[in-house]
A and B are shown apart, each in its own frame.
Chain A
Amino acid sequence: MRQRSLIAITAALTAGALTLTACGSRDDSKDKDDAGGGGTTVVIGVDAPLTGDLSALGLGIRNSVDLAVKQANKKKYVDGITFKMESADDQGQPSSGQTNATKFVANKDILGAVGPLNSSVGESMQKVFDDAKLVQVSPANTNPAMTQGPDWNGGKKTRPYKAYFRTATTDAIQGPFAAQYLYNKAKKKKVFVIDDKKTYGAGLAATFKDEFTKLGGKVAGTEHVNPDTKDFGAVATKIRNSDADVVYYGGEYPAAGPLSKQMKKAGAKIPLVGGDGIYSADYIKLSGKDGKGDYATSVGQPVEQLPSAKEFIANYKEAGYKEAYEAYGGYSYDSAWAIIEAVKKVVEDNDGKLPSDARAKIVDAMQDVSFDGVTGKVSFDEYGDATNKQLTVYQVKDTADPAKGWKPVESGTFTG
């Protein structure tokens, strides 16, 4: 009996071990087929600053759209359709953006455009695209008037362009959120407000100042600067001579970085704060050690914290792009994917083929697009704004490695 028991135990152990091993096995087969979905080619245009001071952000946008196109083809996401990307460089200039928009419109294969980075550039493109019923989705334009009209703040909100959408949160939230953080949390009570006179910078500075003063904060001074100059000696002296305990800059990092450095060298040892336009590793490169302690708000939550972004981050890395996806990578991927979803809807509603009026139908379909994207649920409200409105305050904690210098200090979700 005893021997039989031992043999039985031995057999059971062996069988168990083999079973456990079998349970742990995985299918490591990979689908290496990344061919497109079929014979018809649909081109997605991308407009962003691919050269010049803002190229770090622009190249992150282009690469992320490229990744979305490749993923759609790899997955054969739209039966019968192969997507392609065509990029155009606006160098951050409205006139270049408008020229690029005209070129996109002229190319009948382009059925949607992603971009641009700058609100001022976006404004120059909106009408061109809208007239041609070519859908445009910006991952980065934050000026509220672009979707809600010039009277968005207090007046009647009216959507100026039906073909324009964006995945980024607007400055109507970004500026006040920064004001709340600085006044209530960082205990800053006197601000020196500077802007670069551009659509984005001036608009953002205005929304910040409005909320900061409503909370009880004081404005110690205001200045407008030319973002093309890098000498801010005069304004740095004014800041030093004011009793401001914080500087708010409405503009972008190519000017904000040197401004931070120069005002601190001049003796104004107070933090500079800006919006998503300064949230870049390049800001830290430009401000150097003096940038430590500065703040920026940016649209969305840190992509690394989003469970939905894991696959995007892994695929971006695997694709081997030279440039980082930067602040707008996730939003750019989602912008492109929204176009892909709209194309899918239009094709499926037309017996698997593109209709002759595909552009107009894609604009209509975009309004009802809804999917789980890199940045969370992607859909659009009646103005074309993203329904997912999150934002984060970051602070420069370390300047040794600019790519890792910004750290999140506060995140918020607009649920109104």
Chain B
Amino acid sequence: MNAIGPVEPGEDTYDHESIPAPPVRRLSPRRARRLRTALTAATAAGIAAAGVTLYLTRPEPPPEPLPPWPSQSVSVAYAGEMSRPRAGERNLTFAVIFRQGSAPPTTVRRIAQPSAALSVTASPPTPFAVKTGKPRKLIITMHIRECGEVPRNAGLPFLEVTLRNARANEKHSYILGPEYANDLSGALTAACPRTRVS
């Protein structure tokens, strides 16, 4: 049994005199303030970054719905008042009313008609806006360019209107109906009779 067991520590095995702790390095008030500021700023930056990340990755709110295509919200109706030009006169006038349905305002940019023998001006002149609940009455003046070519008895004449809203710029034909067709035919025939005055 020559094994040597662990030596039990006895009294004074350790020096009771404690090793002096290294002197505490107290930061200067200025440095301490800087450190606190830096830590706070870093924390704030971290939270802010997390917030921004959350914000950027949030579920997208549904996009603002686009207004309908302009022709879906604007209506044009013939309002009569067709003039009766004398033979040889080159202008005739009539009234139309523009109405805007329940949608943001639409700008009427141009009013035309399809026949090369005629041209059109409007009063008030284009462009103008039409708004919901505020119908606009226009006096259309049709100018006869070529009497021999005018569509004297077209069954379905129409106005070509260029409209613009936040969604689109759109050219649309408004077929103003049989009353307009009859009145226009009468006025064109009066201005350009078959036995033409020119």
Contacts and interface: CB of A to CB of B under 8 A. Distances in A.
Q: Verify that A and B bind, or say they do not.
A: yes
Contact of A13 (B44, B66, B152): B44
A3 B36 contact: yes
B156 A415 contact: no
Contacts of A215: 115, 151, 154
B104 to A, nearest CB: 13
A411 B71 CA distance: 9
Contact of B75 (A10, A17, A413): A413
A305 interface: yes
A13 B47 contact: yes
Interface residues of A, number: 43
B141 interface: no
B154 A180 contact: yes
B75 A415 contact: yes
Nearest to B41: A6
B85 interface: no
B76 interface: yes
A10 B173 contact: no
Contacts of B149: 216
Interface stretch (A18-26, A46-54, A266-274, A281-289): A18-26
Interface in A173-211: 173, 176-177, 179-181, 184-185, 210-211
A410 B173 contact: yes
A39 to B, nearest CB: 37
Contacts of A211: 154-156
A20 B158 contact: no
B59 A415 contact: no
Interface string B38-79: 001101100110111011001111100110110110011110
A408 to B, nearest CB: 11
A307 B154 contact: no
The list of the 3 closest CB pairs from A to B, nearest first, reads A416-B177, A17-B51, A412-B173
A412 B47 contact: no
Contacts of A414: 175, 177
Contacts of B77: 415
A184 B114 contact: yes
B116 interface: yes
Contacts of B59: 24-26
A301 B170 CA distance: 13
Contacts of A10: 40, 43-44, 47-48
Nearest to B75: A415
A26 B63 CA distance: 13
B72 A306 contact: yes
B61 A24 contact: yes
Contacts of A411: 71, 172-173
B77 to A, nearest CB: 5
A67 to B, nearest CB: 22
Contact of B55 (A17, A216, A306): A17
B48 to A, nearest CB: 5
